[in-house]
Amino acid sequence: MRRRAFGALSGGLLLASTVAGPQAAAEPCRWIAHDLPVPEGSTFARTSGSSEDNRFIVGEAQIGESAVVESGLLWDNGALTLMAPSGSELTAIRPKDVNNGGVVVGWQEILDQHRTVAFRYRDGAYELLETPDGENSRAKAVNNHGDVLGETWRSATPNVRQAVVWPGSGAVRTFPTSGPAVGISDDRRIVLAGTSSGSVTDIGTGQQTGLPGARTSVVLDNDRVLYPSPAGIEERDLDGQLVGTWAGGTAPFGRTSSGHVVFGAVNGTATLWQWGVRYAVDSAKQPVFAQAYFGDISDEGALIGTYQDPGGSHPARWFWCA
């Protein structure tokens, strides 16, 4: 995990709120969206995950007028690589996460078989992850060792799921869960949401720690768990201790490694909290918060996400123009 000072964003936000000099007399400075490149003819393009250091971003798009399924997209420092095709026009590629080494995880939706299978993707090749016969699987997160966290379920009972860890090496592990699999840390602790509360489980010792109220919109970023509560976005460490509450927040995207800046939303409006002070993201093209979209904030001050306009959805990074 990187431990960089967060300089540019800090200065920009302070400028936005306090100065009345030449900058204020000119056009106000704003967050400017820079589109991430997509293949020609792409539609329904969006981001879906990024590495802890935010070097890599993954997403998906339908490519070409006749496309009926999604293709996987991988950006390395903003440069696009098209992930390998599945080999079938009826199999969608849905990347979900990527680690600092560029290992991508997600799932393939095999439409003609009505089946979903988790994958780990590296060096241009898919590894379909072990899934019991008659079950479906999704890979949701990967740590920097290549350990993968996901879920399995049967089509007849889609709400009854097991959390699964496919390790970089060793035996597959399963864990009961009443909610979605969220993330896996480098020290091999997994975060699971629940119907009333979530949990952090050490997969080596089995020790479990509760996360009160962690039900929906739960995010693991830089070894902190973020999720909405009546008071705002709660931030807890992996020992379950409350680190802070980001007032008014209704959904988190991510945080910097220092923890000084958190990116999220207040009732659908993209918002930043810096040193506890809340700022709406001032941009003509707003990062969209929805379950289908992903967002994060880098230590250098770039926001990551997807915006929508009459031309469709667009993966982008936002930079402060100061």
In a domain, 209, yes or no: no
Flag whether 137 is in a domain.
Answer: no
Phi, psi of 20 (to 5 degrees): -135, 30
Q: Residue 106 domain-assigned?
A: no
Of 171, 144, 146, 149, residue with least CA distance to 162:
149
Tens digits of per-residue pLDDT, 139-173?
A: 999 999 999 999 999 999 998 999 999 999 889 99
pTM above 0.85, yes or no: yes
Domain membership of residue 287 as a residue range: 1-34+219-322
The answer to whether the beta carbons of residues 295 and 48 sit under 8 Å apart is no
pLDDT digits 0-9 by tens, 56-92: 999 999 998 767 789 999 999 999 999 999 888 899 9
The count of domains in the chain is 1
Residue 2 lies in a domain: yes
